[in-house]
């Protein structure tokens, strides 16, 4: 197959469905999108697939291996900038820095002025090193070393234990490394904590209103060509190879992938599509239990016909294989007696995948259950048909006895009077 035909097929595939992508990649001998149960075979140094909505790592290949990460370093550069610059219209002045000839650059000269808004676009889309240097120098108050220290402090706070920075750019310098696992978690944090960041990395290109260039294109060529891909960052150096941290969303499920050490831009894209395709085809986001969902209705003692409502205390959502046999088993009291406060724990909901328990959620009382007063119990007893019949009989017997005694007393009283009369 000629390169021209291959390129055209790739372009058609990237603009089309997952099935087209799978067919074309298979024709080219590249990893295919997985629709089966097994993960794809990737030609990478390391890779990871992450579900940020639930915090699950769905796939890892050498994902804890510390490697050079090239310009995906700028994921942290952007985060530190957004944490410390509160107005994107703030204008920064380029420091006295000259990039190497092989660096990706916007063409800033010392003294050039650009807004933070435009600098971030230039750094994240075409991966401009001079824009990253400009941001680091200004946010670091004239010290790039101070900015790098801020990057490492933030990595520690985020629990990125296998990440260390020695540059805000991502050049091959000692001490600048991360892992596939740390990269997807950092990207997830960036996307969820800055709407601006999430918006710009999803752009195929952008107009700049400051600086020497009027328009920049995104080096992540999957953005804008594959409809469900919406980020995040490319990278390439001699040590790192071709790197891509990518994000996508389909059917309400968000996934973030990282591939490190691929051999070319085409291989970078193909491995990314294979990995994300595997995630979207074989997994789904399931909300198994929702907070507030009524899962049991026990009877309330001393309140005929009344039932309490036991609800799930929290939502349980999980990314699971599409064919996972998930069920929920409920164990709860059959009868309850007040007084009980709202949110009292009266049962559990157990989420089971096949034979494996994957979660247990407390069931709580939806509303407070007051104590039934003695007067209410007595009144209810009196109003019962059988109780009324019994009371009627007793009342009748009681009244009859009193009547007999009265009449007997009157007769006895009369006889005494006659005797007394006879005696006289």
Instruction: Say yes or no: 66 and 196 in one domain.
Output: yes
In a domain, 163, yes or no: yes
Instruction: Say yes or no: 259 and 294 in one domain.
Output: no
Report pLDDT for 38. 77
pLDDT at 412 over 90: no
| DSSP 8-state code for residue 240 | T
Q: Which of 267, 284, 301 is the last residue of a domain?
A: 284
Residue for token pair 């309400």: 252
Asked if 383 and 326 touch (Cβ cutoff 8 Å), the reply is: no
Report pLDDT for 391. 52
Q: What are 338-353's pLDDT values in tens digits?
A: 999 999 999 999 999 9
Residue for token pair 């990440």: 163
Q: What are 238-263's pLDDT values in tens digits?
A: 999 999 999 999 999 999 999 999 99
Mean pLDDT over each residue of the chain, to the nearest integer: 85
Q: Which of 284, 300, 318 is the last residue of a domain?
A: 284
* 101 Cβ contact partners less than 8 Å away, ≥ 6 residues apart: none
Report pLDDT for 90. 98
In a domain, 51, yes or no: yes
pLDDT at 161 over 50: yes
Q: What are 163-204's pLDDT values in tens digits?
A: 999 999 999 999 999 999 999 999 999 999 999 999 999 999
Instruction: Say yes or no: 97 and 208 in one domain.
Output: yes
Enclosing domain of residue 309: 290-365
- Residue 417 or 48, more confident: 48
Report pLDDT for 100. 67
Q: What are 296-339's pLDDT values in tens digits?
A: 999 999 899 999 999 999 999 999 999 999 999 999 999 999 99
Which residues, in sequence order, are bridge partners of residue 347? 332, 363
pTM recorded for the entire structure: 0.79
């Amino acid at each position: 197959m000629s390169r021209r035909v291959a390129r055209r097929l790739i372009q058609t595939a990237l603009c089309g469905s997952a099935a087209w992508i799978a067919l074309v990649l298979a024709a080219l001998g590249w990893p295919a999108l997985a629709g089966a149960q097994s993960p794809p075979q990737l030609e990478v140094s390391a890779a990871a697939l992450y579900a940020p909505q639930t915090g699950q790592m769905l796939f890892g290949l050498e994902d804890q291996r510390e490697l050079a990460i090239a310009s995906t370093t700028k994921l942290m550069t952007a985060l530190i900038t957004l944490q410390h610059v509160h107005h994107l219209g703030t204008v920064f002045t380029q420091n006295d820095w000259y990039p190497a000839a092989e660096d990706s650059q916007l063409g800033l000269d010392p003294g050039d002025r650009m807004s933070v808004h435009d600098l971030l676009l230039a750094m994240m889309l075409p991966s401009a090193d001079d824009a990253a240097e400009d941001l680091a120098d200004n946010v670091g108050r004239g010290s790039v070393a101070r900015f790098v220290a801020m990057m490492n402090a933030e990595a520690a706070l985020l629990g990125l234990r296998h990440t260390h920075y020695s540059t805000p750019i991502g050049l091959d310098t000692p001490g600048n490394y991360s892992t596939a696992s740390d990269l997807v978690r950092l990207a997830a944090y960036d996307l969820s904590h800055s709407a601006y960041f999430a918006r710009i990395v999803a752009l195929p290109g952008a107009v700049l209103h400051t600086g020497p260039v009027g328009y920049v294109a995104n080096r992540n060529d999957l953005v804008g060509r594959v409809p469900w891909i919406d980020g995040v960052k490319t990278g390439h150096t001699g040590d790192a190879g071709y790197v891509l941290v990518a994000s996508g969303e389909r059917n309400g499920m968000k996934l973030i992938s990282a591939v490190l050490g691929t051999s070319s831009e085409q291989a970078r894209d193909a491995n990314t599509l294979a990995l994300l395709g595997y995630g979207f085809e074989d997994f789904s986001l399931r909300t198994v239990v929702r907070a507030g969902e009524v899962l049991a209705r026990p009877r309330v003692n001393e309140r005929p016909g009344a039932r309490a409502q036991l609800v799930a205390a929290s939502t349980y959502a999980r990314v699971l294989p599409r064919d996972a046999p998930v069920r929920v088993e409920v164990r709860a009291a059959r009868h309850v007696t007040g007084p009980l406060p709202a949110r009292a724990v009266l049962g559990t909901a157990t989420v089971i995948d096949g034979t494996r328990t994957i979660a247990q959620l407390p069931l709580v009382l939806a509303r407070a259950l007051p104590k039934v007063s003695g007067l209410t119990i007595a009144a209810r007893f009196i109003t019962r048909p059988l109780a009324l019949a019994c009371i009627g009989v007793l009342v009748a017997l009681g009244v009859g006895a009193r009547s007999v005694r009265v009449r007997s007393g009157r007769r006895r009283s009369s006889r005494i009077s006659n005797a007394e009369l006879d005696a006289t």
